[in-house]
Amino acid sequence: MAKKSVIVHRNEGIPFNTEFFDHIQINKSAVDRRASTLTKRRSVKKEFQAAWLLKAITCMDLTTLAGDDTSGNVHRLCAKAKNPVRKDILAAMGMENAGITTGAVCVYHNLIPFAAEALEGSQIPIAAVSTGFPAAQITLEQKLKEIELSVAAGAKEIDIVISRALVLQSDWKSLYEEIKACRKACGEAHMKTILATGEIPTYTKVAKASMVAMMAGSDFIKTSTGKESVNATLPVSLVMLRAIRTYHQLTGYKVGFKPAGGIAKAKDALAWLILMKEELGNDWLNPDLFRFGASSLLGDVERQLEHFVTGSYSASYRHPMA
C-alpha cells in the first residue's frame, strides 16, 4: 500500500477569460440530491473498507493550527505522520513494510523549523498556511511576503486563503490577479487555494471561484480553513469536483482537491473517497491530487483498523492523533 504516484504536471494556469465561467449556473437542489444519495448507494465493508482507510491515511494533511501550538506539539504530530498506524495493527494486516505515512504535515509559518527538524530524512512534505490565514484580511503585499518566507523556511506546499470579498462582489479579475500573484510567490512550492466555501453564499459562486482559482494556476483547490462555521460538505465538494473535471477537459491539467474542516470520522473519509472515485476517477485517489485536511480523523481511522484486525472496538484514547 505504498503511495502510488501518477504523473501530474503542475497547473500553469491560463489567461483570464470570463467565457470559461460566465455561463455557470448551479442547480442547488440537484447538487444536494446527488450528494445525499452518495453513501446510500455505495457501501464498503470488511477488507475493502480497511484498504480504503489505509488509502485515506496516505491522503491526509495531518494538521495542527491551534493558538496553543508548541514545538512539542509539532514534534509529536510529525512522529505520528511518519508512523500513523500502530505497528501491531499493520503487522496483522500484512502491511508492516508498506511504507504508509500521511501525505503531509500542515502547520503555521512560525512552526515550520520544528516540523523540518522532526521530518528530516522522511519524504513527508511540510505544508504551511499563509496569506493571513484564516480570514485573509491583510494586504496583498503582506500575503506575498508571508508566502515567500514560508517557502524559504522549508515549506513545500502553501495553503493560501482567498479574499472572500472579491467573490461576494463578483470581482473575478481581481481574484484571478491575486491568486496568480500568490502562485508566482510560491515558486516551486505547490499551492492549495482555500475558497472558504462556508462564507460563499451560493453554489454558483463556489463554482466560479473554483474556475478562477484554477485559471490562475492553483495546484489544488480546497474547501475551507476549518475555522468557518460551515466547513467541508459533500454538496460543495461535488460542485468543486465538477469544476475540476471541466477544467481538466478544457486544459488537460489535473488539479487536486482538498476538503478540510469537520472530517473527523472514518465513515466521512470513505464518503469523500467514493465521491472522488465516482466524479474524477482513480487518478485522483492519490496524495498528488487528493488530500484531507485532518486533525482528529486519523485517530478514528486507526480505531476502525484495529476493529478490522481484532473484531473489537478499543477506547479512542488508545489511538491518539499525535
Please state the domain extents for the chain. 44-314
Look up 69 and say whether it is catalytic: no
pLDDT confidence tier of residue 192, bands split at 50, 70 and 90 = very high
Q: Is the peptide bond before 235 cis (omega within 30 degrees of 0)?
A: no
Look up 40 and say whether it is catalytic: no
Place of cell 476502525: 304
Amino acid at 212: V
* CA neighbor of 74 nearest in space, from 88, 85, 63: 63
pLDDT at residue 8 in the model: 83
* CA neighbor of 293 nearest in space, from 207, 223, 217: 223
Distance CA 144, CA 171 (A): 20
Out of 80, 82, 143, 159, the active site residue is 159
pLDDT at residue 2 in the model: 45
Half-sphere exposure of 112 (CA within 13 A, CB side): 22
pLDDT confidence tier of residue 241, bands split at 50, 70 and 90 = very high
CATH code of the domain made up of 44-314: 3.20.20.70
pLDDT digits (tens, 9 = 90+) for 6-17: 678 999 999 999
Phi, psi torsion values for 89, nearest 5 degrees: -70, -45
Out of 143, 219, 258, 288, the active site residue is 258
pLDDT at residue 316 in the model: 75
Out of 143, 205, 222, 254, the active site residue is 222
* CA neighbor of 289 nearest in space, from 184, 178, 202, 214: 214
Q: In which region does residue 97 sit, left (phi positive, over 0), alpha (psi from -120 to 50) or beta (all else)?
A: alpha
Residue 263, C-alpha cell as written in the block: 472530517
pLDDT digits (tens, 9 = 90+) for 196-237: 999 999 999 999 999 999 999 999 999 999 999 999 999 999
| pLDDT surpassing 50 at residue 81 | yes
pLDDT digits (tens, 9 = 90+) for 19-39: 999 999 999 999 999 999 887
Distance CA 92, CA 69 (A): 34
Cβ–Cβ under 8 Å, residues 5 and 288 = yes
pLDDT at residue 322 in the model: 45
pLDDT confidence tier of residue 5, bands split at 50, 70 and 90 = low
Mean pLDDT is lowest, of 36-45, 140-149, 189-198, 282-291, for 36-45
* The pTM of the whole model exceeds 0.85: yes
Look up 159 and say whether it is catalytic: yes
- What is each CA distance from 19 to 123, 215, 255, 310, in whole angstroms? 41, 12, 20, 56
